[in-house]
Structure 1
Amino acid sequence: MLELVKAGGWPMVPLLLLSAVALAIIVERFWALRRKTVLPPGLGREVRTWASRGSLDPAHIDSLRGTSPLGALLAAALDVRNRSREEVRERVEDVGRHQAFRMERYLNALGTIAAAGPLLGLFGTVVGMIQMFLGIMDYGVGDVNELAGGIGKALVCTATGMIVAVPALMFHRHFRSRIDSYLVDMEHEAIQLLDAIDPRTRRAGTTAPQPAPAYTQG
């Protein structure tokens, strides 16, 4: 392995650095995007129970906000629970975008590594080929086997760039897909909470608009 790194020359240094950064991002995102961390089991049901009983206070809501992204989303809805449903929905959407941005942390960097890896590998190969042909100009072709070995060494950078880029691209798309799935589940929990805190939605079979209770006015 060390011989291959030496064969690639100095362009292997940024490739190795990119591989280390990509590995660190992948490990960190796997840890941060665990389902129980983003969507704690039973949290949505527990919050709906609090809301239906009216057992809510600012300290309780602040504590909920710090539990998880889902907790922050539900706390945002509870902060404006006495306003109209549209205002509550707008607040939930704003906080949802903020939480999505936080969950996507470092993913742009991982995508950049996936795109830059093959280019850096190709650059290293071109540099190696240039050096080899300059040597041919100075000393002639010499041994054909040695020339073939030099070409093989020059291609080490290209192979390394692909080795760095392929996992980075795969995990980038995997994390994007996981975040999209979490956002759908968070939206579902928020809608259920809206139904729980809006008394009009609990009146089954009601088709005509009903006057809102006094406490729902902003």
Structure 2
Amino acid sequence: MILLQVPAVDTTATSAAATGAAQPQSLQLFDLAAKGGWVMIPILLLFLAALYLIIERILLIRGQTRIDEGFVDNVKDMVLQGNIKSAESFCKNQRTSIGRVFEKAVGRIGAPIKDIESTIETVAQIEIGRLERNLGYLGLIAGIAPMLGFIGTISGIIRIFYDISLSDNISVGIIAGGLYEKMITSGSGLIVGVVAYTGYHLLNMMIEKFTLKLEMNAFEFLEVLQKPQESVRMR
């Protein structure tokens, strides 16, 4: 009877090698971004610009659109009591958009109502224009960033197929490896575009909310100015 001796197999090394082969390589965020190529540089700059604009505008809009409780009532009471200078100084000390609007309106008391209303509209437009300053850049970033990402992806794909044509070697690994690297730019551009687009519309919503409050308060103020004139006419 012939016994066949089978050499012992190192099962530990085999399982370790299999485990190592089964585990995919982890992708670090910085390394992944670096593989996107030169297009990632302007996309990163656009991202930083978008963050700066959003934070700067949020802080400014929150500060300038603040309306203290009882502000309009205090102004109306001062006007009805004839304390025009006190009302004007009170509005000036607010250092907000609505304070500047009412300061100009109080300063026009004595003129026809239409002139006061025109003054309120003009100053309100100026203040809203200040709040909306630089918002156009956010809209521009929201449109440019995704296009830059697509440009990076398309240029990368062109490069991949150019290399294939030179080497005459069509390999799924080569195509997939190069393609996923170039798709990074598209993903990054879309992320920056979404951030800028969201910030743009959120800031506009904040401004629209303030505009509505300003119109309501201005209407109440004009009503107070019209009541004394109506009572004089009835007499």
TM-score w.r.t. structure 2 length? 0.80
> What is the Cα-based RMSD across aligned positions, in Å?
2.2
**Would you say the 8 A contact 2:65–2:98 is kept in 1?**
no
For 1:30 and 1:62, the matched residues in 2 are separated by 27
Greater Cα shift, 30-39 or 143-152 = 30-39
**Would you say the 8 A contact 2:101–2:123 is kept in 1?**
yes
Instruction: Tell me if 1:64 matches 2:87.
Output: no
**Would you say the 8 A contact 1:195–1:202 is kept in 2?**
no
1:60-88 deviation digits (Å, cap 9, x = unpaired): 62562361000011111112111111111
1:80-120 deviation digits (Å, cap 9, x = unpaired): 11111111111111111111101112211111111111111
For 1:150 and 1:6, the matched residues in 2 are separated by 13
**Structure 1 segments (4+ residues) deviating >4 Å:** none
Percent of pairs identical after alignment?
26
For 1:39 and 1:141, the matched residues in 2 are separated by 69
What stretches of structure 1 of length at least 5 have no aligned partner? 204-208, 213-218
Instruction: Tell me if 1:20 matches 2:48.
Output: yes
Which amino acid in 1 is paired with 2:179? I
Q: Which of the residues 165, 182, 195 maps onto 2:193?
A: 165
Greater Cα shift, 173-182 or 194-203 = 194-203
What stretches of structure 2 of length at least 5 have no aligned partner? 1-28
For 1:65 and 1:111, the matched residues in 2 are separated by 33
Counting only pairs closer than 5 Å after superposition, residues 138-177 of structure 1 correspond to structure 2 as 138-177=166-205
Instruction: Tell me if 1:210 matches 2:233.
Output: yes
TM-score w.r.t. structure 1 length? 0.86
| Pair 1:113–1:123, CA change in 2 (3 A) | same
Q: How many residues align?
A: 206
Larger Rg belongs to: 2
Q: Which has the higher contact order (CA 8 A, sep 6+)?
A: 1
**Would you say the 8 A contact 2:64–2:97 is kept in 1?**
no
Greater Cα shift, 29-38 or 131-140 = 29-38
**Would you say the 8 A contact 1:61–1:75 is kept in 2?**
yes
Determine helix, strand or coil for the equivalent of 1:155. helix
